[in-house]
Amino acid sequence: MKILTVCGSGLGTSFMVEMNIKQLLNEMGVDGVEVDHSDLGSATPGSADVFFLARDIAEGGASLGDVVVLENIIDLEELRTKLTAVLQDKNLL
């Protein structure tokens, strides 16, 4: 499975969320999930199975496919909750 984190520039927010997801995956002991980051303009529907992005660009990323919108990009508990739901949905937890 591949997760792509997306932000406007593909440099700051998306990279931070990528690192946080990798940390959470490690804590959960989940292997086999590729995580990368991108800017919104470069992300395409086939570039990942699930996309994580912030509320401010949610409308622009709605056409990507399976999108998880983060209300607060620095809230690790929100990220943990939403990541857990994705992993359970994909039978990885």
d(CA 34, CA 41): 20
Give the per-residue pLDDT at 55.
94
Q: Give the model's pLDDT for residue 11.
A: 87
Task: Report pLDDT for 65.
Answer: 93
| Best CA proximity match to 53, nearest among 5, 12, 86, 87 | 5
pLDDT tens across the length of the chain (93 residues)? 999 999 998 889 999 999 999 999 999 999 999 999 999 999 999 999 999 999 999 999 999 999 999 999 999 999 999 999 999 999 998
Q: What is the pLDDT, as a whole number, of residue 23? A: 97
Write the DSSP assignment of 19-65 as a string of letters.
Answer: HHHHHHHHHHT--S-EEEEEETTT--GGG-SEEEEEGGGHHHHGGGS
Q: How many C-beta neighbours within 10 Å does residue 92 have?
A: 15
Q: Domain 2-90 belongs to what topology? A: Rossmann fold (3.40.50)
Residue 10 has a pLDDT of: 81
